[in-house]
Amino acid sequence: MELPKIKILDEFDKTLRKKSMEVKFPLSDEDKKTINDIITYLTMSQIKKYYEEYNLRPGMGLAFIQLGIPKDIFVIVEEIDEEKFENYVIINPKMISHSEELIYVGEGEGCLSVNRDVVGIVPRFARMRISYQDIDGNNCEIRVREDISVAFQHEMDHLNGILFVDKIDKKNPFKDKEKMREI
């Protein structure tokens, strides 16, 4: 596998604060190539052989805006078994509904655009339903829960110019922890 040449923007790049724009179909060949490059990059970043060889930080999600492209597209690559992955290509997502239950990632959220350790919890919905379009422009719906729900919310925030660090209370990084469930 060859590592794609993609440049992930750092959290201090103002581009990350832009709201992404709705995508029109059909997708351009360039957008399709970017989607495939992201899938390859995220997959390689989760396989020890590759992340050691290329000095990659493991990541499971990436939004187009993190590459400087303000389009409503994100990709999630979930390892479902050792070196077996499920890919989600989500275009023009909209939240339909969500649970009242809130969760947070116990070891803390990370982001390929945030190159530092961040302490604190990010409140997320335990479950949600999303409408979106697939790579061919078909209207789809998906129900996500637990860690995939967190990943979807994290990437959807990127599409709105929000970073996970924005959601951590600066004065009290563990605020309301007792009202949420750790995953």
Out of 52, 83, 155, 178, pick the active-site residue: 155
Q: Report the C-alpha gap between 108 and 127 in whole angstroms.
A: 18
> Catalytic site residue 53?
no
Helices (DSSP H) in the chain: which residue ranges? 29-45, 48-53, 146-159
Using the structure block, give the residue that is written with the tokens 């990632």. Answer: 105
Q: Please report, for the chain, how many H helices and E strands are present, in that order.
A: 3, 8
Helix (H, G, I), strand (E, B) or coil at 64: helix
List, by residue number, the catalytic residues. Answer: 155
